[in-house]
Structure 1
Amino acid sequence: MLNPVWLKTFVTVSACHSFTEAARQLGLTQSSVSEHIRRLEDTVGRRLLVRDTHSLAMTPDGEAMLAHAGVILQALNRAESQFRGPRLKGRVRLGSSDDIALGPLPTVLAAFRNAHPDVELEIVIGMTGRLYELVDDGSIDLFIGKRRLGDKRGVPLFTGRLEWLARTGTLVDLEQPLPLILVAEPSVTRAVVLDALAETDFRWQIVCTSSSHSGCIAAARGGLGITVRAQYVSARGLSQPVNAAALPLLPDVEFIALAAKRLSRPAQTLLQLLFDSDLRGSWVGE
């Protein structure tokens, strides 16, 4: 087992290139430093440092250990800092667009709950346009939603491509207006889709409007028409139309976090968790 005390001594010796200086920085005797290094080398069964009366050098195994030791000590510091301070208490009012709720939101909520079980979460699901209004009037602390590419408000988390969906096996009749199932205004997705269609020669007709993406998915499952979703959102029973390649290409949308100007400590903690999570630039869904 790698003792973190030995690892800390090893990292300090590596930085100082001196057992004497490492002992001074750690408040140990030089013999204690030597003992820590010896026991670490005995544990891994490898020589980590080569030392003579004039120099101190690191072996290839020592360089590998240094990389591992840095990761281990950072993880220990994060764990200690979480449990060192008082437990967070209070309430966070989190807004989310329902496509995020159908995608990565559960993972974020689980991580926050596990770390801060005494914080009450109040979750508001709504269209992104409405969430902007709620954060502005102080009804929620922060939200995860989306914006069009090029918009500036909010901190980007990740980018997702919109795609056409319909009941499995659907062949869209391109001689007829595209039968659209879209979320109601104010909706970034609706605006992006209609703007994209306006730049094409396709005709379209809105056959169904819903207050949520879940409603759009239900209508598409019923065969009412075609709908749009970000690639990662779960939509069982739906798939891309058979002739999806012939349909207009849809743009990407940017998913963001936006917070009120003044946040409680629990809300700040949740916001930081969002920025540190896999959502930030690397979440690709299931």
Structure 2
Amino acid sequence: MLNPIWLKTFATVAACHSFTEAGRQLDLTQSSVSEHIRRLEQSVGRRLFVRDTHSLAMTPDGEAMLAHASVILQALARAESQFRAPRLKGRVRLGSSDDVALGPLPTVLAAFRDAHPDVELEITIGMTGKLYELLDAGSIDLLVGKRRLGDRRGVPLFTGRLEWLARAGTLVDLSQPLPLILVAEPSVTRAVVLDALAEAGFSWQLVCTSSSHSGCIAAARGGLGITVRPQYLAARGLTPPLNAASLPTLPSVEFIALAAKRLSRPAGTLLQLLHDSDLRGSWIGE
């Protein structure tokens, strides 16, 4: 059995290359340090250190044990920290754009729920532009979505380049206005796409407007026209048009977490979790 006390002593000796210094740091006698190492070596049946009166070095087995010890001690520290802290209670009102909600958000919410089961989550899914309005009105505590044009608030999470998508095999007729499928106002994506088309001098026609990205994907699957989605968020049944290289290059959009001015402890904890998580991941959204 790998006693965590022995592992801590072993890791300290490995870090300072001295039984004496390890004893000083751990407030142990040198004989206690030696006993911890002896019992750990006995437990695993391997020599972990080669030592004489002048030097101390780890064996290959010692190097391997150090890697395991680091993981075990870090896990123990996290567990102790969680259970020493008072359990979080309260409610978090989170707003999320539907593209994030269909992709990486459930994983983050599951981790938050596992760590803080007494916190109630109230989730609002909508266009980022609408979520900004709800946040400014005090109706939600946090939002996760695209950064609004000209707005510098928020904690950056990741960046994704927009790409054109259509039903597989689509060849866009460039002699005609581009048949666009876009989300309704207020929408960060819509504003970015229309600005890019205007700058490139392309004419366009809105053939379908939806209140959600899911609706846009459904319309594009039906062959109504072309839509856009961040590249990291694939959409089943859709691919870039065959002549996508002839279409205007779309810019990247920045995804952020934005919090209310006064944030409760549960909401602040979720904000930190969002910031620490890799929301890009390797998932494929609907």
Task: Please give the TM-score of this superposition, normalised by the length of structure 1.
Answer: 0.90
Residue type of the partner of 2:164?
W
Residue type of the partner of 1:272?
Q
Cα distance change on mapping 1:148 and 1:124 into 2, 3 Å = closer
Structure 1 distance, partners of 2:5, 2:163, is: 53
Residue type of the partner of 1:251?
P
Moved more, 14-23 or 206-215: 14-23
Residue type of the partner of 1:270?
L
Q: Which residue of 1 aligns with 2:22?
A: 22
1:83 counterpart SS class: helix
Residue type of the partner of 1:267?
A
What percentage of aligned pairs have identical amino acids? 85
Residue type of the partner of 1:112?
F
Structure 1: runs of 5+ lacking an equivalent: none
Please tell me whether residue 266 in structure 1 is matched to residue 266 in structure 2: yes
1:109 counterpart SS class: helix
Aligned-pair distance for 1:263?
Answer: 1.3
Contact kept in structure 2, 1:102 and 1:233, CA below 8 Å: no
Please tell me whether residue 105 in structure 1 is matched to residue 105 in structure 2: yes
Structure 2 distance, partners of 1:68, 1:245, is: 50
Structure 2: runs of 5+ lacking an equivalent: none
1:11 counterpart SS class: helix
Structure 2 distance, partners of 1:264, 1:84, is: 20
Structure 2 distance, partners of 1:257, 1:29, is: 50
2:8 counterpart SS class: helix
Residue type of the partner of 1:184?
A
Aligned-pair distance for 1:209?
Answer: 1.4
2:206 counterpart SS class: strand
Q: Which residue of 2 aligns with 1:285?
A: 283
Structure 2 distance, partners of 1:71, 1:148, is: 41
Task: Please give the TM-score of this superposition, normalised by the length of structure 2.
Answer: 0.90
Structure 2 distance, partners of 1:181, 1:251, is: 18
Please tell me whether residue 241 in structure 1 is matched to residue 236 in structure 2: no
Please tell me whether residue 207 in structure 1 is matched to residue 191 in structure 2: no
Please tell me whether residue 82 in structure 1 is matched to residue 82 in structure 2: yes
Aligned-pair distance for 1:195?
Answer: 1.0
For 1:9-52, what per-residue CA distance to the aligned partner results, in whole angstroms no more than 9, with x for missing partners? 01222334332342343343433321221233344454332322
Aligned-pair distance for 1:64?
Answer: 4.6
Cα distance change on mapping 1:150 and 1:37 into 2, 3 Å = farther
Residue type of the partner of 1:104?
P
1:199 counterpart SS class: helix
Cα distance change on mapping 1:242 and 1:248 into 2, 3 Å = same
Structure 1 distance, partners of 2:247, 2:44, is: 60
For 1:48-85, what per-residue CA distance to the aligned partner results, in whole angstroms no more than 9, with x for missing partners? 32322344333454345434423321221112211222
Q: Which residue of 1 aligns with 2:217?
A: 217
Moved more, 147-156 or 31-40: 147-156
Structure 2 distance, partners of 1:55, 1:209, is: 74
Q: Which residue of 2 aligns with 1:166?
A: 166
Structure 1 distance, partners of 2:221, 2:126, is: 22
Aligned-pair distance for 1:143?
Answer: 0.9
Q: Which residue of 2 aligns with 1:189?
A: 189
Q: Which residue of 1 aligns with 2:155?
A: 155
Structure 1 distance, partners of 2:204, 2:42, is: 73
- The CA RMSD measured in Å over matched residues stands at 2.2
Residue type of the partner of 1:36?
H
Moved more, 47-56 or 77-86: 47-56
For 1:228-259, what per-residue CA distance to the aligned partner results, in whole angstroms no more than 9, with x for missing partners? 11123353332222222222221111111111
Contact kept in structure 1, 2:177 and 2:202, CA below 8 Å: yes
Structure 1 distance, partners of 2:137, 2:64, is: 53
